Amino acid sequence: MTDSSTLGIKTVLHPVSDLATAKKVYTALLGVEPQADGPYYVGYEAAGQHIGLVPNGGPQGMTSPLAYWHVPDIEAKLAEVTAAGATVKDPVRDVGGGRLVATVTDPDGNVLGLLQDR
């Protein structure tokens, strides 16, 4: 049997309209400098969490923060939540470094992120 449990929410991405200003705010809030700092993404590691800033919602057009549930088997979890009534928004895709992500919507339209590190 595949382990489809979750490892908790460890990644939260925030769409921002002004990356430079947002970076100042989040650096002050988190008390650490970003680990990833580019024009397309700024990422922080703080208190065991990854906090990301995505300019203008990125190519996926995010309009609100998105929490990613870390899972050991993304395909199994995706099958499990869709069988329970969730709808696939963005299918599993590799975003680099062996990281797989997908999003689903719950019956109320809330977007849930799933993330697997290989």
pLDDT tens digits for range 6-46: 999 999 999 999 999 999 999 999 999 999 999 999 999 99
Classify domain 8-63 by CATH number.
3.30.720.120
Domain boundaries, the chain: 8-63, 71-118
R_g over Cα of the chain: 15
User: How much of the chain, in percent, has pLDDT values that exceed 90?
Assistant: 82
What is this structure's pTM? 0.86
Residue type, 113: G
Calpha distance 30→70 (Å, rounded): 21
Q: What's the whole-number mean pLDDT along residues 89-106? A: 94
- Residue 54 exposed, middle or buried by CB count within 10 Å (0-12, 13-18, 19+): buried
Determine the topology of domain 71-118 in CATH: 2,3-Dihydroxybiphenyl 1,2-Dioxygenase; domain 1 (3.10.180)
State whether the Cα torsion 9-11-12-15 is positive or negative: negative
